Amino acid sequence: MANTPRPIVGVIMGSGSDLDMMAGAMETLDKFVIGYEVRILSAHRTPDMLAEYARSARQRGLSVIIAGAGGSAHLAGVTAAHTTLPVISVPIRRDNHGHEALWSNIKMPPGVPLATMPENGSVNAGLFAVRLLALGDATLLDRYENFTQQQTASGVEADQKLQTEGWEAILSESRSR
């Protein structure tokens, strides 16, 4: 439990089996020193707990909720229906799944918005939460800008290495890892 600041993001998932796919959100929030809480709440297995969680989220001090679920994946949509906070959805897809989680989230009817990330896109969910929170936090904006600069620098470095060593060497290096 590296996370100590007051939780301002709620990361929820439909099952403990979703934890591996959702870890990117927690790791991203840790990198930006953002407080969060993690809960297993299900739209169909624990519907009352989920409704209570979403309804009380704003008054408990949360600013954003990230919700990940697989299968028919009602979690994010139901959460958004019970709160006025922004809800970011991570549709979870396993090898034996189709794209049902993605479709059920991205096709929310007008009136209840969800910010739906790519399938298993929990890192981007974390980053999107950071962008939302940085709207009112100059320190966080500074951290986000540093992050994008570092990302750009590593892209430039990768291109320089490619130009120097050639694509065959880079490919064989990455295949041998």
Binding residues for ligand RP5, rule: CB under 6 A, are 13-15, 17-18, 42, 69-71, 92
Q: Smallest distance from the beta carbon of 42 to ligand RP5, in angstroms?
A: 5
Which is it for strands 36-40 and 9-13: parallel, antiparallel or unpaired? parallel
Torsion sign over Cα 156, 138, 124, 176: positive
Nearer to ligand RP5, 51 or 170 (CB): 51
Q: Smallest distance from the beta carbon of 169 to ligand RP5, in angstroms?
A: 41
Contact present, 79 and 90 (Cβ < 8 Å): no
Nearer to ligand RP5, 25 or 69 (CB): 69
Contact present, 80 and 112 (Cβ < 8 Å): yes
Closest-CA residue to 73 (of 107, 102, 33): 102
Q: Smallest distance from the beta carbon of 113 to ligand RP5, in angstroms?
A: 21
Nearer to ligand RP5, 34 or 69 (CB): 69
Nearer to ligand RP5, 125 or 132 (CB): 125
Query: Which residue lies nearest ligand RP5, judged by its C-beta?
Result: 14
Q: Smallest distance from the beta carbon of 73 to ligand RP5, in angstroms?
A: 7
Listed in sequence order, the residues at least 6 apart from 101 whose beta carbon sits closer than 8 Å to its beta carbon are 69, 70, 71, 72, 73, 91, 92, 93, 119
Report d(CA 36, CA 125) in Å as an integer. 13
Q: Smallest distance from the beta carbon of 91 to ligand RP5, in angstroms?
A: 9
Contact present, 12 and 113 (Cβ < 8 Å): no
Nearer to ligand RP5, 69 or 125 (CB): 69
